[in-house]
Amino acid sequence: MQFAWAAWKFLVAIKDGMVLIAMLLFFGALYALLSSQPNSGAIRDGALLLDLNGVIVEEPAAPTFEDFLAGNSDGSPREYRLRDVVHAIDATVEDDRVKAIVLDLSRFAGGGQTSLTDIGEALARAKKAGKPIYAFSSFYSDDSYQLAAHATQIWMDPMGGIIFAGPGGNRLYYKGLIDRLGVTANIYRVGTYKSAVEPYMRADQSPAAREASEALYSVLWDSWLAEVKKNRPQAIAKPFAKDPAAFITAAGGDYASVAMKQKLVDKLGDKTIFDRFVAEQVGTDETPSPDSFQSIDYDDFVAAHPVDRKGSAIGVITVAGEIVGGKTGPGMAASGRIAELIYTALDENEIKALVVRVDSPGGSAFASEEIRLALLEARKKKLPIVVSMGDVAASGGYWVATAGDHIFAEPDTITGSIGVFAVLPSFEKALAKWGVTTDGVQTTPLSGEPNFVGGFSEDLNDILQAGVEDSYGDFVKLVAAARGKTPAQVDTIGQGRVWDGGTARQLGLIDGFGGMTDALAEAAKRAGLAEGDYHPQYLDPEARLSWLPFGGIPFVRQEIAPVTGVIGWTAQRQKASFGQALVTAQGLLAREDVQALCLECGVKVHRNRNASAGWIEQLLGYSFSAVPR
């Protein structure tokens, strides 16, 4: 009895401890939630502080539990939504409390060239309205200087420097490593310029890919130089970028001296001196430190200036990030989630038109088609659809754009890349070195395929290549129908080649230049709405924490992806075969008794939800059990 009583007390103690921990986590999370909310009532006269500690994105990824508890107080990089930054800068024009705008770019990690141009244009509007802009950084590179060029004064730490690298650079090629390891990259593609698979099939860049890259990067670099020259004409940026070593060597390695002589910056001073200067312009903060200026918090300012809700609603759906199947995200353009948002908006019948904001390099062709089909439902309801391309809208991103009645892009937008591919590895050469071979009985040419140990059969290779070619044909037909061209014309400008926005307009892949403002105006015009009598209604919900019981979205369950075609079937079977082989190897060491096990029965694959599963199953995320098939 004493043992039972002691065991009971021990169990009760464990239960009480777990309840206490759960309560502490709950109240800690509640405190973090309340303390992290923007306070729109805290705004006072001063400078709007854009301390851009992170990157500019079209759609921030959903925060994790750790992100929520940290509340960005640890200084970790964050993602700034492009439209929020632009709206905040534009809101300063009519807000007399804002005496200046301060750009602290010391920890700025950059963004797409088109996105930075949008922010730069907003800064130019604010400066024209009489808002001085002061930029500071300990070091400037391409992205940070693209914004700083719009400043009234550019400051730099005297121990800092400036380097302009320009677009382009080297990428890794794995062909030599793959051959040395004995891995076979089974590649199926259509498109002379579809270079995404080249790292697995070549040791260097193909002439076709080099031609496309040189043309694209040349346009982007010229555009960057032109923007800097327009907004800071005194800066001698191009000669410095062309031969930085000569300038820096001549200055004896004094980076700050070079920056001043080339008129790239106006003032040298550390952060304390800079803050003191700004305080003289906008007022000193009430805190004891004499170096701090009166600042307006960015998040508070965004909260205090919500988007105008007057007039009719024009729906805005965002397709940002790699296009994948399922309902994950934000941060990934999950077709299931995006399609559901579109269908919900159509059922509610509140929107008069739809703007599709695309900032994606593409991804799954099946998922891209799922989004396109959802957009076609809007067309069936006679809703105008206008596409607005961001930094990149290529491949699957362009696939989605074919559903639009009108396509806007910027001159620096990267688009096109009309081409498809698939890559599946096999290991026959590597395993043969260790004496691992395959043998068995086939009832059809595809029995046991894909054979990642013995190599893919010619039948399977022919089937997969034919499927990829058919997908390319579908892509070409979609573009041809959407852009009023013949498939032969589209094939000529397709072949996986990427284009800058300017060339894309000449080729007829887009209809005109413009950003979100232009896309909304075009959508309103097509919907018959009066000028100014509309507002954007963003269909993508604000990113919420998945673990919250109040208002949060549920955890995303790990599930086996649905088979989306022959390539998907092949990849899924390959993963199962690979897992079966690993489990068989694991069983060599794990089994300690006489076995009554059916070798011919095969395995059933299911997502691993068993904490006691083997280490291989845990690693793969799958469990394997023998069943007849």
Residues with a known catalytic role: 194, 395
**3-state class of 304 per DSSP?**
helix
| Rg of the Cα atoms in the chain | 29
> Rounded to 5, what percent of the chain is helix, strand, coil?
45, 20, 35
* Distance between CA atoms of residues 294 and 502, nearest Å: 43
- For tokens 């068989």, name the residue: 584
**Beta-bridge partner residues of 268:** 156
**3-state class of 503 per DSSP?**
helix
* Distance between CA atoms of residues 331 and 162, nearest Å: 31
First and final C-alpha spacing in the chain: 53
- For tokens 């799922």, name the residue: 370
Q: At 14, which amino acid appears?
A: I
Of the candidates 292, 314, 257, 260, which has an alpha carbon nearest to the alpha carbon of residue 523?
314
* Distance between CA atoms of residues 592 and 385, nearest Å: 65
Of the candidates 142, 368, 135, which has an alpha carbon nearest to the alpha carbon of residue 237?
142
- For tokens 């019948």, name the residue: 349
Angle between helices 458-483 and 365-380 (to 10 degrees): 30
Question: Number of C-alpha atoms within 13 angstroms, CB side, residue 209?
Answer: 14
* Distance between CA atoms of residues 258 and 240, nearest Å: 9
Question: Number of C-alpha atoms within 13 angstroms, CB side, residue 341?
Answer: 26
DSSP letter (8 states) at residue 236: -
* Distance between CA atoms of residues 294 and 99, nearest Å: 10
* Distance between CA atoms of residues 416 and 428, nearest Å: 36
- For tokens 């807000």, name the residue: 95
